Amino acid sequence: MNDATSGQAPPVINIKKYANRRLYNTATSSYVTLDNLAEMVKTGTDFIVTDAKTGEDLTRSVLTQIIVEQEGKGQSLLPIKFLRQIIGFYDDSLGGVLPRYLEMSMESFAQNESNMRKLMQDAFKGMFPSQRMEEIGKQNLALFESAMKMFNPFGTMTRPQANSAPQPGRPEASIDVQSLKAELESLQAKIDRLARDR
């Protein structure tokens, strides 16, 4: 019985990475390239990358390599400002919240992507959906604006310099974890609402 008839998800493919940087697909018993892995991602094929010698999970670093290669081919999807913001959150107290927010944002965008593709198909049938696409764009923008407010809870307040001492009589700003959780829940509710409206 195959996976399609049994209703079970296909097994995760193990890609082994050797010391010479070659990647070996254990499912097809063949060597693959980063371009091959990029195609697997696009087709929804799930895989993990492990060190052939130690078994260490290298999936994150290899996926990052794929992004770097794709960015270098001319189609840049990651704005410089966004990359700077990501780097700024390393070693930051809010850095632990960012991965979950990015996952939620990409899930929402993926849902909108399906709708946008359908609208573009309708456009070729003589129905140009500019107004609907504009609405989707505004909803995505609203989500990102909400997120930026959540990750900058003190508005225009700048972070103190590492070598500056706190001023007398002025308490240092503290992060309200409960408020952040409430913001996340509110953001998740908005995403769920958008998904239902589709």
Q: Across the beta sheet with 30-32, what order do the strands follow?
A: 30-32, 23-25, 13-17, 47-51
C-alpha 34/C-alpha 32 separation (Å) is 7
Residue 41 or 173, more confident: 41
What confidence score (pLDDT) does residue 2 get? 47
Pair (59, 132) in one structural domain? no
Task: Name the pLDDT band for 155 (thresholds 50, 70, 90).
Answer: very low
Residue 154 or 23, more confident: 23
Tell me which residue range forms the domain holding 64.
3-71
- 26 pLDDT exceeds 60? yes
Mean pLDDT, the chain, rounded, equals: 76
Pair (181, 100) in one structural domain? yes
Pair (61, 96) in one structural domain? no
Is residue 8 domain-resident? Answer: yes
What confidence score (pLDDT) does residue 140 get? 66
What confidence score (pLDDT) does residue 72 get? 86
- 183 pLDDT exceeds 80? no
Task: Name the pLDDT band for 106 (thresholds 50, 70, 90).
Answer: confident
DSSP 8-state class, residue 91: T
When divided into structural domains, the chain yields a total of: 2
Pair (98, 28) in one structural domain? no
Is residue 91 domain-resident? Answer: yes
pTM over 0.85: no
Pair (100, 178) in one structural domain? yes
Pair (191, 96) in one structural domain? yes
Task: Name the pLDDT band for 98 (thresholds 50, 70, 90).
Answer: confident
Write the pLDDT tens digit of every residue in 27-53: 999 999 999 999 999 999 999 999 999
On whether the CB atoms of residues 100 and 106 are closer than 8 A, the answer is no
Q: Which helix (H) or strand (E) holds 35?
A: helix 34-42
Question: In degrees, to the nearest 5, what angle opens at C-alpha 70 toward C-alphas 37 and 74?
Answer: 150
What is the arithmetic mean of pLDDT over 88-112?
82
What confidence score (pLDDT) does residue 41 get? 94
